[in-house]
Amino acid sequence: MVKVYGDTVDNETRCKHYHAPVDIIAIKFKCCNKYYPCYKCHEEHEQHQVKRWSEDEFNTEAVLCGVCKRHLTINEYMMTETCPYCDAHFNTRCMFHYHHYFEV
């Protein structure tokens, strides 16, 4: 079982910042190799700067579906609106935050 850090509010990786029904992913931060539900949780719990995943690393499994607990590559996550394993819907508005996690 993967540990998700931050201020989670349930077992599907929702946090105090983002807790809508579709907020069900956690991202492994390259800088610390820890999963957090969002960049705000990372900022509140870590003392280091975020290191973003570069485009040549987008085949890295760095996204966790909070529903089925399966790992997705960054490419898989960015190319879909639902989990390819359990069909749970992801928050499509998360794309506006990609720059916090990925070099886009």
> How do residues 83-98 score in pLDDT, each as one tens digit?
999 999 999 999 999 9
Domain membership of residue 12 (yes or no) is no
Structure pTM?
A: 0.95
Are 51 and 30 in contact by the 8 Å Cβ rule? The answer is: yes
Is 9 within a domain?
no
Amino acid residing at 33: N
Q: How many domains does the chain have?
A: 1
| Residue 19 belongs to some domain of the structure | no
95 inside domain:
yes
Asked, for residue 15, whether it belongs to a domain, the answer is no
Does residue 33 register a pLDDT over 90? yes
Domain, as residue range, for 35: 25-101
Alpha-carbon gap, residue 94 to 86, rounded angstroms: 19
Q: Is residue 63 part of a domain?
A: yes
Does a structural domain hold residue 45? yes
Sign of the dihedral through C-alpha 35, 39, 45, 50:
positive
